[in-house]
Amino acid sequence: MTGISTNAIHADQVLNRVTDVVPPINVTTTFRYPSNPNDIRPATDYQSDSYDPSSDTPIYSRLGHPNSTRVEKILSKLLDGEVIAYNSGLSAFFAAIMYFNPKTVAIGDGYHGCHGILNLLSRNYNVKIVNLDQLDQLKEGDLIHVETPENPYSIVHDIEYYVNKAKSIGAKVLVDATFAPPPLSNPFDFGVDMIMHSATKYFGGHSDLLAGCLITKDPKVKIQLATDRIFLGTNIANLESYLLLRSLRTYELRIKQQSESATKIVKYLVENKNNYPTLDKIHHSSLQTESFVLKQMKGGHSPVFSIELNEIEKAKSLPSKLKYFQHATSLGGVESLIEWRAVTDANARKTLLRVSVGIENVEDLISDLDQALRQ
């Protein structure tokens, strides 16, 4: 099988339209129809099961455009399925919910934005929201949404358990694998129905674009998602696609280093915890002992981990003592970030700090954390 970086750099070559080594940014929203009248098709031809508006001859950029098609081509190689790109991770989640159309959704803690979308659906359409330990309330056609590793603790959930439960009910499983994209994990190994990623994070990798994607094994589902996306108006934009393509070229180098560095930092903090009287807890999947964890995290652990300090004020002020970790939300970028999580997540414990490890020298990052935690 071709390697991740080879695909990230070359999988879109088949779509070259010009001789440029770096694909141009196509800013056009509309595309000329063929000059030969025999090649012009009426709209009724587009309503077939085999017409894919995301990748056939471009018509209008809300359906698909050369840069989004390239992004999807590369991501489909990296993510082991058919990929549809969106203008944010939350757009991808919303599109998945529209597709599955469940009456009840089981969801864990996870990213508060996904809960926000479900709350809207609950308010307007009475969609019922239950916890992951209330699966007995699910019926055929309902949905189990598993975020793993889960925000903000970067703790891994047993995907196989939820897939087996879903099968026994006739429900579907959607996994948000934003915290651990390939080669770290691949939820398809455990038979899930669909995967989502916020591509804003590791695929983008430079904190300068918003994007998301859904991955399915079924080409028919992909066509349905591409058709739905026309009317949701949530295709990834031209310039964002270009930035994402640029970022994907270096994706494998970044994710591997970020994962290795985070695991090393967590290990260091655990081994030296006695030096930091304010450090109360460290959360990361590398500290979990269940057998499913290593099975799922086959390529390494997430570059995100969390720590809890023993006092709220100390947690709030720790970011101001750090030199390299920027105090900001989000994750996945080349620069390390730390966030007093209570700023963006109303449910987060006020002693909690979420850390996203970038690609800086890991020894520099360790000494930065060391000096701040000693203060």
Does residue 151 belong to the site contacting ligand PLP (CB under 6 A)? yes
For residues 325 to 364, the per-residue mask of contacts with ligand PLP, x marking binding by CB under 6 A and - elsewhere, is: -----x----------------------------------
> Angle at the Cα of 188 (from 182 to 194), degrees rounded to 5?
100
DSSP H/E element including 107: strand 104-107
Looking at 100, 111, 153, 162, which residue binds ligand PLP (CB under 6 A)?
Answer: 111
Q: Are 217 and 47 in contact (CB under 8 A)?
A: no
Enter the tokens of residue 74: 């590369």
Q: Are 152 and 285 in contact (CB under 8 A)?
A: no
Least CB distance to ligand PLP at residue 200 (A): 4
DSSP H/E element including 281: strand 279-283
Least CB distance to ligand PLP at residue 292 (A): 19
Q: Are 184 and 163 in contact (CB under 8 A)?
A: no
Least CB distance to ligand PLP at residue 153 (A): 12
Looking at 147, 240, 308, 368, which residue binds ligand PLP (CB under 6 A)?
Answer: 147
Look at strands 279-283 and 172-176 and give their pairing: unpaired
Looking at 12, 176, 308, 345, which residue binds ligand PLP (CB under 6 A)?
Answer: 176
Q: Which of these segments, 61-69, 176-184, 278-286, 288-296, binds ligand PLP (CB under 6 A)?
A: 176-184
Could you give the residue ranges of the DSSP H alpha helices within 27-146? Answer: 66-78, 89-100, 112-125
Least CB distance to ligand PLP at residue 31 (A): 27
Looking at 75, 90, 248, 315, which residue binds ligand PLP (CB under 6 A)?
Answer: 90
Buried b (16+ CB within 10 A) or exposed e, 92-120: bbbbbbebbebebbbbbbbbbbbbebbee
Q: Which residues in 222-281 contact ligand PLP (CB under 6 A)?
A: none
C-alpha distances out from residue 104 to 121, 130, 162, 207, 232, Å? 10, 7, 15, 34, 22
Least CB distance to ligand PLP at residue 371 (A): 28
For residues 185 to 224, the per-residue mask of contacts with ligand PLP, x marking binding by CB under 6 A and - elsewhere, is: -------------x-x---------x-x------------
Enter the tokens of residue 70: 């390239």
Closest CA to 270 of 372, 369, 123: 369
Least CB distance to ligand PLP at residue 125 (A): 21
For residues 49 to 88, the per-residue mask of contacts with ligand PLP, x marking binding by CB under 6 A and - elsewhere, is: ---------------------------------------x
Least CB distance to ligand PLP at residue 179 (A): 6
Least CB distance to ligand PLP at residue 151 (A): 5
Closer CB to ligand PLP, 151 or 296, in the complex = 151
Closest CA to 230 of 24, 58, 64: 64
Residue numbers of the site for ligand PLP (CB under 6 A)?
Answer: 88-90, 111, 113, 147, 151, 176, 178-179, 198, 200, 210, 212, 330
